[in-house]
Structure 1
Amino acid sequence: MSAASYDVVIIGAGIVGAACAYECAAQGMRVAVVDREMVGGGTTAAGMGHIVVMDDSEAQFSLTRYSQELWQRLRPDLYPDVEYEQCGTIWVAAHDQEMHEVRRKETYYRSRGVPVEVLDPQALEQCEPNLRKGMAGALFVPEDAVLYPPCAAQFLMDRAQASGARLHVGLKVTGIGKGQVRTTTNEFSAGTIVNAAGTSAPMLTSGLEIKPRKGHLLITDRYPGFLRHQLVELGYLKSAHSLTSDSVAFNVQPRVTGQILIGSSRQYGAESGEVETSILVRMLQRAEEYMPGLARMSTIRAWTGFRAATPDKLPLIGPWPEDNTIFLATGHEGLGITTSLGTARLLIDHLTGRTPEIPIAPYLPSRTVAEHVHA
């Protein structure tokens, strides 16, 4: 059987793969997307949908801020069911020590053009009256937003297909390399193969330093007006840096339905996708410490997902040094929804030879190969 030929074949129909398809098809490239499941399934469907600027490193800030700006440009065209809402993020400081972090983030963001506002305890209570009294203050980042990830991925894929991209779902990819993509039933050939397979990426490209990180989420019944902004404890940042122990942190999100999405947890080494009661209990207890009223709410569903994590917490975006036909777009961990558009733009800039708006160097896969050689 002869292989169907394309300019670009993208492995993975999650939000990163859909964004890559959208950018490539818009440039007139012949594009195919292959996934064993549906559009916006897997990690995308399990995600919180927070479009957030983060500053663990300069590279992380650059990609998240750039991507957020791309979402803002796309916002007028999004389907209503994408539920894009610019509710802003409030980083909550429980005590004076965390207020030092508020001031640091304020200085960092302001110097880079990100609007922020420091909230004292009274202003914080006015913004979110259901928070526990006695908080030290907070940092409000008004341009952060939330959306519904599966529908966002479907929007991007619809746009890609409208520009000629071909979608092949229900196909398990068994191997990629040297311009060839093999599935259980047929083959594709392409000058560029984009590995956007998330936690499955190392199975297709050996040598990737990606580990699955398990997370739990839970959603309540409808309680309109109880929560107005995405709320995250500043201790979340410490939790996010834990590479060995299971951790939970207060992280809640308002949905347009009036429901409240409650997170978050992080686990390394967990293999089962089952909901773990012990983790849920810890996660809910932490959330109720910050918002006691959550204890009176009915929860209707809990689920888990696995995020593709790299050792330096930066995604792998760019050509794979061991095969010049493979381009990686994976390893985004909990920021894949935010950074999907930036990742796709860096891909198309690379393929067309355009100068990117932000440097691609910090995300190149070659950095991990070099680190491995010098380790």
Structure 2
Amino acid sequence: MTRKVVVVGAGVVGAACAFHAASAGLDVTVTDRGPVGAGTTSRGEGNVLLSDKAPGPELALARLSRTLWDEAGQELGPDTLELEAKGGLVVASGVENLAALQEFAARQETAGVRVERVDRVRDLEPHLAPDIPGGVHYPQDAQVQPVLAAAALLRAAVGRGARFHPGEVAGAVT
């Protein structure tokens, strides 16, 4: 028996679902009333961040997401997604905040996130205020261009047999 999946929405989430479902051999149909990635996806920053997640389920999901983006980038080509593993810098606004930031980073590091303590933050970001006492660099933070990523993932899903039906759906989709 063939398992059928209908994905409503061809934004980055729907396109990723279609890509992975089609890759798993499922019978996939995607529908969207508008152009690919034109809804919420077109308004997103495309951040793939570990730096702002406390240890627990959200961080575990973010780590998995980061791995899946790397795999998609390798398979589809990082340029098709504009996948940039540029890292992120979180700075403390004062000495009292630096200890809390470093404690948070230590908990993240224990959970498997790569962290680098930075004393001279202006070496990385020269336009920061001169009194910033330090920060933490997160080399695993990345960014994708959401609309390009949605289009690339949907193209790959269609290449694996998924069907895309743009426009309004008023009945059963086959």
Does the pair score TM above 0.5?
yes
1:70 paired with 2:68, answer: yes
Q: Select which of 137, 140, 160 maps to 1:140.
A: 137
Rounded Cα–Cα distance in structure 2 between residues aligned with 1:47 and 1:112: 27
Percent identical pairs in the alignment equals 33
Q: 1:14 to 1:83 in 2, by over 3 A?
A: same
Runs of 4+ with deviation above 3 angstroms:
none
CA contact (8 A) 1:79 1:155 kept: no
Rounded Cα–Cα distance in structure 1 between residues aligned with 2:79 and 2:122: 31
RMSD, aligned CA? 1.8
1:188 paired with 2:173, answer: yes
Question: Per the alignment, in what secondary structure is the counterpart of residue 118 of structure 1?
Answer: strand
Q: Select which of 144, 149, 168 maps to 2:165.
A: 168
Deviations 1:115-151 (A, max 9, x none): 111111xx20111111121112111001111121100
Rounded Cα–Cα distance in structure 1 between residues aligned with 2:35 and 2:97: 42
Question: Relative contact order: is structure 1 or structure 2 higher (C-alpha 8 Å, sep ≥ 6)?
Answer: 2
Deviations 1:191-211 (A, max 9, x none): xxxxxxxxxxxxxxxxxxxxx
Q: Deviation at 1:92?
A: 1.4
CA contact (8 A) 1:6 1:32 kept: no
Rounded Cα–Cα distance in structure 2 between residues aligned with 1:32 and 1:167: 6
Counterpart position of 1:284: none
Counterpart position of 1:58: 56
Counterpart position of 1:42: 39
CA contact (8 A) 2:54 2:108 kept: no
Rounded Cα–Cα distance in structure 2 between residues aligned with 1:117 and 1:14: 34
Counterpart position of 1:100: 99
Rounded Cα–Cα distance in structure 2 between residues aligned with 1:16 and 1:79: 18
Rounded Cα–Cα distance in structure 1 between residues aligned with 2:13 and 2:69: 13
**One-letter amino acid of the counterpart of residue 154, structure 1:** A
Question: Per the alignment, in what secondary structure is the counterpart of residue 73 of structure 2?
Answer: helix
**One-letter amino acid of the counterpart of residue 109, structure 1:** Q
Rounded Cα–Cα distance in structure 1 between residues aligned with 2:78 and 2:118: 33
Question: Per the alignment, in what secondary structure is the counterpart of residue 188 of structure 1?
Answer: coil
Q: Deviation at 1:97?
A: 2.6
Question: What stretches of structure 1 of length at least 5 have no aligned partner?
Answer: 172-182, 190-375
CA contact (8 A) 1:13 1:39 kept: yes
Structure 2 counterparts to residues 229-244 of structure 1, below 5 A: none
Rounded Cα–Cα distance in structure 1 between residues aligned with 2:100 and 2:80: 36
Deviations 1:276-322 (A, max 9, x none): xxxxxxxxxxxxxxxxxxxxxxxxxxxxxxxxxxxxxxxxxxxxxxx
Counterpart position of 1:150: 147
Q: 1:65 to 1:187 in 2, by over 3 A?
A: same
Rounded Cα–Cα distance in structure 2 between residues aligned with 1:131 and 1:67: 30
CA contact (8 A) 2:83 2:142 kept: yes
TM-score, with structure 2 as normaliser: 0.90
Rounded Cα–Cα distance in structure 2 between residues aligned with 1:155 and 1:16: 12
Q: Deviation at 1:79?
A: 5.0
Question: What stretches of structure 2 of length at least 5 have no aligned partner?
Answer: none
Rounded Cα–Cα distance in structure 1 between residues aligned with 2:80 and 2:141: 18
Q: Which has the higher strand share?
A: 1
Q: Select which of 100, 123, 127 maps to 2:124.
A: 127
